[in-house]
Structure 1
């Protein structure tokens, strides 16, 4: 993988010019497989963006939400303008696309606050006021739908203007909230836990399919990564939190997680292998607990399972190319065409 320091070193050695180093760095930075390494600076950038988004959303206080509709909308618009201006400045003037893109993502995340303020000012319609602003992120209510729809529109506009993949995560979360709230509209107030889990399960599966389709079409910016992450989080979470004492259901859960590991190889997306491996470990741990219940051997059995998984990881690392090649050769041509044409990026 090419990185900016590597090109700078080549320029210092006289192999290429400084201008060529900058051009090559920009070219590889926009390629799906050519993202720079995720170092401490990236961790701080993403952590800061998440703190800002959380501060103005999930972790906002009750007093903040009581400022009144006009004040909330004004706050959101001022923050949005400041974030967009700062983000564009970092991207254009300082060649810092990641922190600049994150600031623009923060601007998109201000959309629910702006719409909530407008609804507070203009009225909530027949359903009445569903709650304080911070409840948007914790309660399923039909009154939140305009905020989620507006966030999707803002995300689409931002993605059109700024090709930065993290914005798709905000869109995916808004779409998940929207699916829940529309489900409440469709079923009435009695949306129980099982219905919510089912909605999340199918939503996650649909989002994975959409991310796959994006993977097949994208050429430069990696929009699909955050869609894959959102999809597997939603699908796997709903799958794992099912309540069943059936051995058949538990075995099927294990097989689905093994299938996720295979999907990771096919799509070249490691995130599926991470969740698949966790799911297999959970199943094996539950199995060991039932077999060795209240036994001195349980800790040793669980340790052996963990060591076995590590050993399988080492074995796969040594033969990854052969395993991937064998998988591709065994697939018909119609399925091979559905494999994204990129290296393992996630």
Structure 2
């Protein structure tokens, strides 16, 4: 749990002899200069991210067909204007010590890059798809080998933006573009039609690879770039795994075990996002048991209630002894694996 301190708290520390007179002012000034490291949950931060998602949606999957009719040159001009203005605002906010607002605007600018590349391709006659496949919003809903240049440009723009405005949320549009690219490359290599079964398999393996990459990245940069990478990787991996819908009881039990493994990784890495996805998977499996296997059992709801109470108890125990539990679990692993794991964050 993150604590908030003010000048009165530090003054009491001086009175108690914990700090020397004069040190409290230097410490308070230092803490005020570290807004990006405070880890506090503020309503303003919610507004920043929600506003960014609205713009991403408006200029992405919610873009109407009317925008396709304004002409490719006009579409390119608008997309470039958005990118330039948003990048300029982001850099200005960064200079004003507003890293979160700056970072989300920079991420929005990156998310508009595919629209600009789409317009350029059509203007130059490079667009590889026919007119029935030319709507931009289909970039977010269909697998097509023709989207590859847009995805590659988005990844490159995201990496460049990280140099200008180093903020973790920019990893999200990069990860999404890579996810799309994994699908489209598979369609390009294996040909059409690209079935739902193939999409699920590609999504699962891409998500697993992304998770492994960010386990390596985690804890090394000063900023927490791994969070958004974990989120994107889990969405791809867990989504592909969940949509596989095995017909065998063994397959469904293995699905539950994998999700229990994700919950264990949450303790090992101290990353709640793994717990969220793992808990959803276990809940889905228990729901299946309730409606299909134990539909006529009177004891099953009671057993689930006891399990739920036990999970809450474990959560309380983890909240109190998070450091000890994480260290104890790591100590049971082979030494080579302990060295490969990222350092624990607060």
Residue in 2 that maps onto 1:200: 203
1:109 shift after superposition: 1.3
Greater mean alpha carbon deviation, residues 198-207 or residues 319-328: 319-328
**Structure 2 vs 1, CA of residues 141 and 326 (structure 1 numbering), >3 Å: closer, same or farther?**
same
Structure 1 residues 281 and 125, CA gap change in structure 2 (3 angstroms): closer
State the distance in 1 between where 2:257 and 2:190 align: 32
CA distance in 1, matches of 2:160, 2:154: 10
Mapped partners of 1:52, 1:125: distance in 2: 25
Q: Which runs of 5+ in 2 are unaligned?
A: 13-20
What is residue 47 of structure 1 aligned with on the other side?
Answer: 50
Q: How much does 1:306 deviate?
A: 3.6
**1:102 & 1:320 partners in 2: Cα distance?**
31
1:87 aligns with 2:90: yes
Deviations 1:286-338 (A, max 9, x none): 12323432566665555454444333323433443443232122222212212
Call closer, same or farther: CA 1:8–1:184 in 2, change over 3 Å.
Answer: farther
Show structure 1 runs of 5+ residues with no match: none
- In the alignment, which residue of structure 2 is the partner of 1:158? 161
1:6 corresponds to: 5
Given that 1:87 and 1:104 are in contact with CA atoms closer than 8 Å, whether structure 2 keeps it comes out as yes
1:58 is aligned to: 61
8 Å CA contact 2:269–2:326 kept in 1: the answer is no
Asked whether the 8 Å contact 1:201–1:238 carries over to 2, the reply is yes
The answer (yes or no) to whether the contact 1:8–1:21 under 8 Å persists in 2 is: yes
Counterpart CA distance in 2 for 1:56 and 1:8 is: 45
Matches of 1:268 and 1:2, distance apart in 2: 15
| Mapped contact 1:152–1:174 kept (Cα < 8 A) | yes
Q: Deviations over 1:106-143 (max 9, x none)?
A: 11111011111111211135543432111111111111
Matches within 5 A, 1:72-221: 72-93=75-96, 95-129=97-131, 130-218=133-221, 220-221=222-223
Over aligned residues, Cα RMSD in angstroms? 2.5
In 2, are the aligned partners of 1:169 and 1:227 still within 8 Å (CA)? Answer: yes
Alignment of 1:241-320 (within 5 A): 241-294=243-296, 302-320=304-322
> Could you say which residue in structure 1 is the equivalent of 2:231?
229
Note closer, same or farther for the CA distance 1:328–1:215 as it changes in structure 2 (3 Å cut): same
Higher RCO (Cα < 8 Å, 6 or more apart):
1
Aligned residues between the structures: 337
Q: Is the 8 A contact 1:258 1:276 kept in 2?
A: yes
Shift of 1:208: 0.2
CA separation in 2, counterparts of 1:105 and 1:125? 26
Distance 2:2 2:324 in 1: 25
Structure 2 length normalisation: TM-score?
0.89
Go from structure 1 to structure 2 and tell me whether the alpha carbon gap of 1:9 and 1:134 turns closer, same or farther (over 3 Å shift).
farther
Give TM-score, length-normalised by structure 1: 0.89
Deviations 1:132-169 (A, max 9, x none): 11111111111111111100010000011211000000
Residue-by-residue CA offset, 1:174-224 (whole Å, 9 max, x unaligned): 100111111111111111000000000000000001111111432x11111
2:16 aligned partner? none
